[in-house]
Amino acid sequence: MTLWQLLSSFPTSIPTVLLAVLLVYWVMSIIGLVDVGDSVHLHTDVAHGHGAHDLHDLPDLHTLAGYVVALGLGGVPLSVAASVLVFCTWLSTALLHQYALTWLPTETLRMLAGCAVLLFSGGLSIPVAARVLQPLRALFVKHAARTNESLVGQDCRITTQSVDRGFGRADVDSHGVSINIRVWAAVPNALAKGAKAIIVAYDPATQQYEVQAAPAVF
């Protein structure tokens, strides 16, 4: 059996078509026509009057994601998991087709055995794909950066001679690193260089933090 006959005949033709579709998808993603998404978000468009009724019309994507994680294929974009899974299925099907199905005497037996091969290859490809994807998960870990608002509530130490409504600087520790920030405070206040203060609010418009003197500890 030639390579073309193998790829175009049942059962190898089915994963071959899926592999071709994924190949087109990856080519389109390389040239920028589609994005390689790493997650699926369900949301309601309240501004346009869409509510919970629209969610019932969508596929149960959370359930699908649960199955993907349960099968050990989570931690990577769905497109990557699907590509590895289909490739493993295609490779197993092609090998069994070439070295087992071609020896069967009748077309009926080859069709029945082909269905069994597809089921077997699909099941076998799941643990194999999970093992292949395991070292790739570290490449897709997201590290969330701290926001300006996350500093609210923390202690800081004033670094300027005084703090008023328009001027002031302070140092705040963030994960072991000292960050110098712009601060302001209502006047009159007792804040001076070296004084300890508490960050109580952040104003995105001025990019300043409101501070208050820390209560004295006895």
User: How do residues 69-88 score in pLDDT, each as one tens digit?
Assistant: 677 777 788 888 889 999 99
The tokens of 1 are what? 């059996």
Nearest CA-CA partner of 199 in 177, 179, 175, 176: 179
**Contact, 16 vs 89, CB < 8 A?**
no
Q: What is the C-alpha separation between 190 and 211, in angstroms, rounded?
A: 12
Whether 159 has a pLDDT exceeding 90, the answer reads: yes
**Contact, 185 vs 166, CB < 8 A?**
no
For 160, phi then psi, to 5°, come to -105, 165
Query: Helix or strand or coil: residue 176?
Result: coil
Instruction: Report the range of poorest mean pLDDT among 68-72, 152-156, 203-207, 213-217.
Output: 68-72
CA distances 192 to 70, 159, 187, Å, are: 57, 8, 12
At 113-151, the pLDDT tens digits run 999 999 999 999 999 998 998 888 877 776 666 678 888
**Contact, 163 vs 194, CB < 8 A?**
no
Helices 13-30 and 107-133 meet at what angle, rounded to 10? 40
The pTM of this model reads 0.56
Distance from the first to the final alpha carbon of the chain: 89
Q: Give the DSSP per-residue string, 8-45.
A: HSTTTHHHHHHHHHHHHHHHHHHTTSS---S-------
pLDDT of residue 135: 87
Residues 6 or more apart whose CB falls under 8 angstroms from that of 62 comprise: 42
CA distances 27 to 14, 78, 170, Å, are: 20, 16, 51
Q: Comparing 105 with 41, which gets the higher pLDDT?
A: 105
